[in-house]
Copies of this chain bind each other. A is one copy, B any other.
Amino acid sequence: MSGQARTERRPTRQRAAIAEALADATEFRSAQEIHADLASAGDRVGLATVYRNLQAMATDGEVDVIRTADGESVYRACATEDHHHHVVCRGCGLAVEVTADAVERWAETVAASHGFTQVRHTVEVDGLCRRCSSGSS
């Protein structure tokens, strides 16, 4: 059920560096950020390369992608390979992974009831985490 369509890709220093940078992060990071992180760590990796790898990794299901409010794509190494969603803090970026079978079923059902097939869905929840809830304006 978790068929990794992992395209045969060649391991490179850059790819490893990107994967590691992502593994270190606890929140979602944009391609630009990853690129900057690597640069400041002395790791020279082309921006285009970061984009390409991040996308490839996302396609292979190695990492998760979501869109920020302003349309930027941000990536994160997910703890599980299984399908899940996130609750992201608007304040600090903290991202919690959650599963939602109920929602999956609902999406499938409601879509089917309108005659839709090959259903996919996007569910993202955001708010303020406990910490950020306290000192917010």
A133 on the B face (CB < 8 A): yes
Q: Report Cα–Cα, A114/B127, bound state, in Å.
A: 10
* A121-B125 contact given A98-B110, A100-B106, CB 8 Å threshold: yes
Contacting pair A127 B122 (CB below 8 A): no
Contacting pair A110 B129 (CB below 8 A): no
- A123 nearest in chain B by CB position: B123
- A117 nearest in chain B by CB position: B133
Q: Report Cα–Cα, A115/B100, bound state, in Å.
A: 17
Contacts of A119 in B (CB 8 A): 87, 125-127
Interface residue total, chain A, C-beta cutoff 8 A: 34
A13 on the B face (CB < 8 A): no
Contacts of A120 in B (CB 8 A): 125-127
Contacts of A130 in B (CB 8 A): 115-117
A-B contact list, 26 entries, CB within 8 Å? A67-B67, A67-B71, A71-B73, A87-B111, A87-B116, A87-B119, A96-B114, A100-B110, A102-B103, A102-B106, A103-B123, A110-B125, A115-B129, A115-B133, A116-B127, A116-B128, A116-B130, A117-B128, A118-B128, A118-B133, A120-B126, A121-B123, A121-B125, A122-B122, A122-B123, A123-B123
